[in-house]
Structure 1
Amino acid sequence: MNKELKWFKSSRSTDPGPQNCVEAAVLDGEGMAIRDSKDRGGAVLQFSVTAWSTFTAAMGTSAPPPGAVRG
């Protein structure tokens, strides 16, 4: 993973507001990294370009992507 990621919060995250946010960083054309903004030293999830594109496309619809498992 990139050593010096440039983390950012969603434009929908507001201060002072709920602090239940995630931060994202671009992985040099290899996808996205996501972390909990309250635990910046904690776990980082990494998503490939394809996985991230599928996720963000699904967020614009009411249906899950094909093959998705509902909880």
Structure 2
Amino acid sequence: MFKNIWFILSLFLIVIIFLRLPPENNGLSNFMGNNNVFGAPTSSEQTLNSIIVLAIICYLILAFYINIQGNNF
């Protein structure tokens, strides 16, 4: 069960981080176009940054937990 949550969380983080690339970076700018999925308002940007930080912390906790369970002698 934890591995499923960990996998979904990792996919979520990959998608969110790729969508949050700065416009100067041409990596996915041609792919995404000019639609600005996560627009400019600072409050929504702050909320999204908080969600990303929380997701990263949960990802790391689950990664450590899964690793400890796998090394259980």
After TM superposition, the score normalised by the length of structure 2 is: 0.30
Of Structure 1 and Structure 2, which has the larger fraction of its residues in strand? 1
**Higher RCO structure (Cα 8 Å, ≥6 apart):** 2
Of Structure 1 and Structure 2, which has the larger fraction of its residues in helix? 2
